[in-house]
Structure 1
């Protein structure tokens, strides 16, 4: 039985999902939480695809059977390990032969299996349509080291918040990779973000952190980036001293080689003299000086982006302490007093 994307995702809350595409397709991007039981290997898929184009459908189909036939028992064994209450959901790229064949096999083996109508391609369309929805976006802005992520975490106890940097496994700056797990592909980032976006109430405010088009190696969907750029910004002004203190806390405990790697990334941007001073400060374990030098660059870069926004959509607010919980209360009270929407 074929299910719509909405039906498929609803059932996936309780039923395991099997992606039968190649490992390469799966690694590029998949439905979050899916397991990969590939009908064909990367190499086999390439050969079958070439045959389909050059020789025709029937020879390609026979070749695929030649490859997959001997593995049928292994497919079933893997499926039984993953099934819950003897049920599975199955998808491929377009919801065609690959998922249909595997679902047939699993059903024949006694595992109740349903496929995704339109396949992974339909899922991708679905999440991008969700990104296109009209939302009431509020952006939390502030210079590097302002603790925006921590403040948003506190705000999430009262309002809808999406942690873009959390999904990207990166904090945004040249130092943002430090202490983070490996970044997902941009496609997988969109998938993970899309599932979260679908959970949001479109009638309520959604708070996001101010971000560039890319967060490390991951790029925001155009529609999300445009929402950020056009949304009202609560720009929190926090002293440089507090920001330096926070950056030392966040990064000074890591290997200095990682910090040097980050400084190397912005060498051209901060200039030769500042690069040398930052490197020397790092050698002397003067993390405060390293932070001070790099903030001079980041503050200027952030201000440049802020000045490109519509001035009437920027609302500045001074935050005087280093407590995210207190800051979140001040910010929310201030926002509610503005009556923006």
Structure 2
């Protein structure tokens, strides 16, 4: 089917579903997803408006049962508390937020410098308070850039040492930092899932696991389902984005229906549950684009069980 026809069909079907729900109940039809997909603020602002609570309500009305907010740590305390109260009322689980200065190009953990480690550890301490406030369990950590003057094994040792100390802060509270290998620049120290697996095994703590971002791993290593299989025991969180473009499933080359089925089947067998963070943009603009995005998740979640 030509893309333009697919888009028209998608929007038409999604619009018909919403209209049918409105006619029968006075509100949009609520989807029942097999996996716990987590939108972020701004994803549905054209439909729900700018108010964050209204956006949460819209997400819940569409059947989404989780939220991720990379910037939660930077929000005022009263806003964090307000959002947490509304998420609890709506039955929405909090996904990841990013640990402030948890490791970046300016303070790479691979360098082994005490000043950088202190910045990271202070970020972990602050993250504990935020996590308590918003009922979060996971927080994203990126170790930062390579320290190219040092051998790779020494850099890896530095990262493991820093993450062990971070884990000592988080583990008593039942919290988990999730390490995210990225594709944004070749300067980043953490690039692949197997490298992240090795580091998590070295840290050896339930407070340090893998955030498997499928978009980034498609770019850096491909072979997605086998890599998920090989690193499964250390994965605590997934993020989504199609490639190229980092938009919703069905807009790129990744067969998300097959990946979602693999994660669902194995999780159900082992009694696990993952939040699937929707860390991507909208392929189409405006309200129609938001409707199309929801339809894309309905389609990708329609695998047989």
Give the TM-score normalised by the residue count of structure 1: 0.25
- What TM-score results when the alignment is normalised by the length of structure 2? 0.27
Higher Cα radius of gyration: 1
